[in-house]
Amino acid sequence: MLATIFLTKKEQKKLALFYHLERLPAGDYTMKSISDELGYVYSTTQVLLNEIAADCSTINQTAVVLTPQKQVRCPLSGVSYDQYFAFLVYQGVPHQCLLYLLEHPQKDLKTFCQSHYVSIASCMRHLQPLAEYVQQFGLTFNRSQLSLKGDERLIRITLFNLIWAISKGSEPLFQHFQSGELTTTLAALSQEIPLGRDYVGTKEIYLFVEITYLRTKAGFYVEDDERYDAVFSKKVRCRWTHWNIFFLFQKSNCMQNIVFYNLCITTRLPILGLMIRVCR
């Protein structure tokens, strides 16, 4: 699913080829033998393998894909499938556009294309799968304006899911808070936000707080929804002071948004499935 949203057809083919190479028995293989095995045109296979080798060298200079005799060495060393997948996605237009609309909400696709040296027509084509994907959650992605419309909770959860799937909370652009400040806050709210008790959970919340901060800073607020009133406790409401350093909007909306996110994770339900339920 992520590959079809974030990668071009050529990039998907490179990823599929990389996956195939990872599973070949140890040894050196000619490009022709790999081409014949997969049923690819030889010239296409040659281009893909050379690009994979160049990509892997960018990720890890010690990575070895091709021997001096231009044979493919298996198993591949220095780069894992997950690393290569993340590399391809991060370089792509859809992922870069998601980060751009968060960091620069006042700018549009034309500005993005100028700064990234790509054509508007190409960007529109690459963003089409992403626009179609978010529609199932009742969201509208305006590609020309680089904006998302719909329930702000679902927009933030969707942004979180897509960015987390690639960066696992290590997105270098999001450095708006000191980790010590957020860790202290999570410790104070550990009864309300159990995710803050472990390493991965803390990184998840850290990313979600960054997204919430950027959306709020841009003027996108969470509408009060009484469907979630039942999940609030007096304890949550009185602990609002812990979040003052992070958010500048209404208290009830802030805590409602945080608890909504926390429920999505801690209920062990698929997040995307939960989004569909809320949209109905």
Across 48-57, 74-83, 126-135, 264-273, least confident range: 264-273
Closest C-alpha to 63, from 43, 46, 81, 86 = 81
Inside any domain, residue 121: yes
Task: Pick the last residue of a domain from 28, 54, 79.
Answer: 79
The CATH number assigned to the domain holding 110 equals 1.10.10
Share of the chain above pLDDT 70, in %: 68
pLDDT (tens digit per residue) in 184-239:
666 665 555 555 556 666 777 778 888 888 898 888 888 766 665 665 554 444 44
Task: Pick the last residue of a domain from 33, 53, 79.
Answer: 79
Task: Pick the last residue of a domain from 29, 50, 79.
Answer: 79
Bridge partner residues of 72 (DSSP) = 29, 66
pLDDT number for residue 168: 77
Inside any domain, residue 45: yes
Q: 174 falls in which pLDDT band (50, 70, 90)?
A: low
Closest C-alpha to 160, from 152, 169, 151 = 169
Average of per-residue pLDDT across 157-179: 75
**Same domain? 274 vs 172:** yes
Overall domain count for the chain: 3
Inside any domain, residue 157: no
First to last CA, the chain: 23
Inside any domain, residue 84: no
**Same domain? 109 vs 22:** no
**Same domain? 177 vs 254:** yes
**Same domain? 100 vs 140:** yes
**Same domain? 103 vs 189:** no
Q: 1 falls in which pLDDT band (50, 70, 90)?
A: confident
pLDDT number for residue 275: 32
pLDDT number for residue 212: 86
Inside any domain, residue 187: yes
Q: Which residue has the higher pLDDT, 170 or 248?
A: 170
Q: How many CA atoms lie within 13 A of 89 on its CB side?
A: 23
**Same domain? 101 vs 127:** yes
pLDDT number for residue 208: 82
**Same domain? 98 vs 171:** no
- pTM for this predicted structure: 0.74
Enter the tokens of residue 189.
Answer: 């709210």
**Same domain? 145 vs 247:** no
Asked if residue 40 has pLDDT above 50, the reply is yes
- Domain that residue 103 falls in: 92-150
Inside any domain, residue 86: no
**Same domain? 13 vs 118:** no
Q: For all residues of the chain together, what is the average pLDDT?
A: 78
pLDDT number for residue 268: 33
pLDDT number for residue 272: 35
- DSSP character string of 99-154: HHHHH-TT--HHHHHHHHT--HHHHHHHHHHHHHHHHTTT-EEETTTTEEES-HHH
**Same domain? 25 vs 98:** no
Q: 44 falls in which pLDDT band (50, 70, 90)?
A: very high
Q: What are phi and psi of 23, to 5 degrees?
A: -105, 5
Q: Which residue has the higher pLDDT, 35 or 224?
A: 35
pLDDT number for residue 231: 54
Asked if residue 151 has pLDDT above 70, the reply is yes
Other C-beta atoms closer than 10 Å to the C-beta of 12 total 14
pLDDT number for residue 182: 58
**Same domain? 111 vs 6:** no
**Same domain? 202 vs 108:** no
